[in-house]
Structure 1
């Protein structure tokens, strides 16, 4: 898939630089040639020797190296690749790119290149959320720079939140998509995500603990494989991924309508935690305490989106994937759900409080298909998404 492709890999100075060693290995496994460039700060985290040994090529480090200028000037180096990848893209590198600065080899290459650029940000959560970084992110996106990540999780500094560099396989998938070689290029995929909020009155609602993290990761992974993704999301805690069509909804009925509007698609991934019930007659005014006692709420059943789409006689997606959050007898309950709904696959997990999965950064799933149950090891939600996206690609395109 990446055979004969040349990647110019600029390694920034952050703890996430160690992941680039695995990234180089993964790229070379797929037939890509990797030309590495190390910033001065990157050498504090990985050595030129280790990078060169894995890449099988010389490491470029200094802008004013006369030997390199004679052999391959920075202009030629910046334009000889099919794609420029910056990983990790630190706050400093992003700031230089956004401002058009060029005072070292890495920033000069980024200014001189006429090839596409993909960056994988990595920094402390406060740095990622800082207004200056948000401005730089917006400017780089407007300039046509592609992004992969950052992910949410534990930081080396001990804090938690968005700022972790994407995993090597996620970056590989984004590289494939950026080069137009993604296996899902030309495929349209629907992903639902997050909880739904069912109103009781204008200020109260019924909801669940879904953060939307897994659905968001799935949408990002599918887009990285080249798919055109329609992302229908309830009011999730995590922001939607870049590079997808985002449709925001609140209630199950709104999500049902948005799903209809997105069809037809080549695959539907229904990761949303849709509320089973709603208040039959939500009040248009805030309910008040009364001496007459507690208010009585009458419930109505919400539309079963997964079942309806799975059993469509016309326009059914060739692949329908549902999710099952269980607290006991996971395989038995999920297998029964797949048959009851009529979908092709069910991604099941145990969301008992002791697992820490609901709202957490990791997941442990069991893929239920017509052939049986396949247990996956516990891993990050991003890794689960990448594995699921690749299985979807294998099914749709062989």
Structure 2
């Protein structure tokens, strides 16, 4: 069900949005309003941290009266906004999204959608009851690399898909920041496995690219063996800048990565932003030396998530899928290889190049080859972030969705695949997705 989103009758009136959770991802999506002010306006914010609430409330010119510390203070849709960008932490996604849907908001929800199949079912039911739009931030669907691959597959350029191979390689600095020192390193605290927190993107892509049929059964294996105390070099301490004798030559030195190279500043300095929005060198070093979680030794943190995993999938129509996660690589990358009855598509996200080969039935050559160069931007998701928000705006305005559409009904299979894969890994067996019944009929 679509409704008018503004009392302003002009077609160009921007959609009014409330930002719920002013972390890095929520702010990034909200910046679309600065790029396309005729399409989107951030008119309210819900953020419990007063420093972040005021900082981003000011950045987006939000009136003081529309800066809320709690979701319970946010009025129903129509008063200050009509849509919500829900970028809360993983364990808060379902309760906050259900609250927003019930209050009449159309919602753009950060991934993961939910942390269990029952949660996913509850959210799907809430979305059906509300009649509101719920789209998921599976931003890689909107990266030109993947959207072009999807277009070619749908057009039948490689015939019917037979198999799909995917891999994700997480760089050493990204892995150690987010999944060792960071919020997603401990599954007990975040509520998410590595496969859910990092790779639900990839399994969503697999089910989307080959979505003629749903996944039927899955097997998985994985382990944690890199960032463990047993691998700590002699002389390693508990914090890089307090008791480590090898910090100057360590690849994971917090000073080298986060001060000298200025890696991941939007995450690293969040804990110290109450001191100043622009920390000086001494403040940064003192933060890493004392209470900043990113100053901890990577071999002596509280991380428990896997650092390698494989997933094997059988789809109901016979398509075979495989996904491999490897971490601690020098650079991050994602690769894709889809084989069909008459050809294949392969490539790497980071260089934006797709190679399409088609089997020939005549001529001297055995196959034709086409090289497609897609646009690559310097964001983390191949240019998909703002394309996602733009599509969300179009959908809530009642316009047709793109082929990349991440509405809930078209997004659940990837998450069900994650939940089944984790069960398969833990129980050392193939798991039928039917075991997660009742099926989520979103």
Is TM > 0.5 for Structure 1 vs Structure 2? no
**Shorter-chain TM band:** 0.3 to 0.5
* Higher RCO structure, 1 or 2 (CA under 8 Å, sep 6+): 2
